[in-house]
Amino acid sequence: MDVLLQLWGGLFYLANKIFFAVSESRGHQRKKQLRVNGWIIYILGVPAWVIILSFKHNWIAASIEAGGLPAMLLGLYNVYTDHSRPHRFLNGLATVSTYTFIILGCGYSLYDFGGITSLSQVLEIGVMVGFLLGSYLLAKNRNQGWLFFMLMNTSMGTLMLLQNKPILAFQQGVSLYFVIYGYLVATRNKKDAR
């Protein structure tokens, strides 16, 4: 079961990063479709990640994955509508959900471990910051989101390596490559547009 969950979560997450990275070098319509696909596949991979992280008592990272669903839906909505109509309900839900799950995940982790007492908790904080800011900034179509995804991939890859999840550690390394590629292409495109 563990290998199946690693494959499910890892492959869906990697596909998301590939769709996002490749979209940066495409025209508007193709970019939009690739990003829509990327958000959808990201959402479909969340359950596997929540299960894996919960089994290892990675409460901060598990809560961020679960609590990030509204932000992912907001990103999907923004891409689908070309940011033409702000969705107040989704935006509010994403904000409330994000902060609620940060408090719940961090609080329960502090309770479960008796404070910040392990390297895994520090890595989870890196995952949290990278995921939340990366998703938020990319949903707003800002290139700095890629930098926070680099932090997230590095933190999560190290955490998975320490917790003997080699498939997910490898997947995070491959994802990091696509995140770097996406950032470089997006930065170049922004300079070319000036």
Q: Per residue in 13-52, pLDDT tens?
A: 999 989 988 998 888 889 899 999 999 999 999 999 999 9
User: Is residue 63 within 8 Å of 125, Cβ to Cβ?
Assistant: no
CA atoms within 13 A on the CB side of 147: 5
- The Cα-based distances of 28 to 31, 146, 165 in angstroms read 5, 19, 37
Residue 76 CB partners (closer than 8 Å, separation 6+) = 36, 39, 40, 43
What pLDDT does 71 receive?
Answer: 81
What pLDDT does 84 receive?
Answer: 67
What pLDDT does 94 receive?
Answer: 82
What pLDDT does 49 receive?
Answer: 93
Which band of pLDDT confidence, cut at 50, 70 and 90, is reported for residue 81? confident
User: What mean pLDDT, rounded, does the chain reach?
Assistant: 88
What pLDDT does 90 receive?
Answer: 83
Average pLDDT over residues 152-174: 94
Average pLDDT over residues 180-185: 92
Choose from 27-31, 104-108, 166-170 the range with maximum mean pLDDT.
166-170
What pLDDT does 146 receive?
Answer: 92
Average pLDDT over residues 115-140: 86
Residue 12 has pLDDT above 90, yes or no: yes
What pLDDT does 2 receive?
Answer: 87
pTM over the 0.75 mark: yes
N- to C-terminal Cα separation, the chain? 50
- The Cα-based distances of 133 to 115, 166, 174 in angstroms read 24, 26, 21
Residue 43 CB partners (closer than 8 Å, separation 6+) = 69, 72, 73, 76
Instruction: Locate all alpha helices (DSSP H) within the chain, ordered by sequence.
Output: 2-23, 28-55, 59-67, 69-80, 88-113, 119-139, 144-162, 166-193
Residue 173 has pLDDT above 70, yes or no: yes
